[in-house]
Amino acid sequence: MTIAVYAGSFDPVTAGHLSVVRQAARLFSHVVIIVAVNPNKQYLLSTDERMGLLREAVRKHPNVTVAATEGLIVDYARDIGASVLLRGVRGATDAQFETELARNNRVLAPELSTLFLPAEAHLAEVSSSGLKERVARGEDVSAFCPPAVAAKLRERLAPSTRSLRP
């Protein structure tokens, strides 16, 4: 059984992330999506919210599970017997960053291979930060994320529709 780990902050999960998950679910026996928790980073959504949204989004894939860690992803991967680290790439800038990350992970855990999976072409520009910016401007993001994510973002970020009256 080949276990692959797909780690990220997923703040929030996007259609691009889910494109990578769909591909991985076809390629590997088990895919573990890891919500990375960095105590020095500011998140819009709590770890539990991010995990819940991911679980809902991947529930139709029986070989995909969701977990979280504050530790190094390579340590988590070793602990569960994974052999592959998955990374999604959207373009050249992502590829450069992800290649450097893969090199660092190779130094830390030479037994783990890193596999880059591009999201579908029409999702190449979708990012978590971009979703949040669009919602904050009042734009529709339903084409770029699951409905539950869009609703959660609107709840947190949508411009107020209340009028100010004296």
The residue from 19, 30, 128, 152 that is catalytic is 128
Binding residues for ATP: 9-10, 17, 88-90, 98, 123-129
Range of the domain at 115: 3-122
- Rounded to two decimals, what is the model's pTM? 0.90
Domains in the chain: how many in total?
1
pLDDT at 94: 78
pLDDT of residue 16: 93
| Residue 59 domain-assigned (yes or no) | yes
CATH of the domain at 37: 3.40.50.620
The answer to the question of residue 146 being in a domain is no
Q: What is the pLDDT of residue 123?
A: 83
- The pLDDT, as a whole number, for residue 20 is 95
Establish whether 83 is a catalytic residue.
Answer: no
Domain assignment present for residue 131? The answer is: no
CB 51 within 8 A of CB 68: yes
Residue 162 domain-assigned?
no
In a domain, 138, yes or no: no
* pLDDT in single tens digits along all 166 residues of the chain: 899 999 999 999 999 999 999 999 999 999 999 999 988 899 999 999 999 999 999 999 999 999 999 999 999 999 999 999 999 988 777 788 889 999 999 999 999 999 999 888 888 788 899 999 999 999 999 999 999 999 999 999 876 543 444 4
Examine the residue annotation and report whether 90 is marked as an active-site residue of this protein: yes
The answer to whether residue 76 sits within a structural domain is yes
- Neighbouring CB atoms inside 10 A of 105's CB total 19
Q: Is residue 17 among the annotated active site residues? A: yes
Does residue 141 belong to any structural domain of this protein? Answer: no
pLDDT of residue 160: 59
Task: Give a yes or no: residue 147 inside a domain.
Answer: no
CB atoms under 10 Å from CB of 93, counted, come to 9
The yes-or-no answer on residue 134 being catalytic is: no
Q: Which of 41, 60, 162, 165 is catalytic?
A: 41
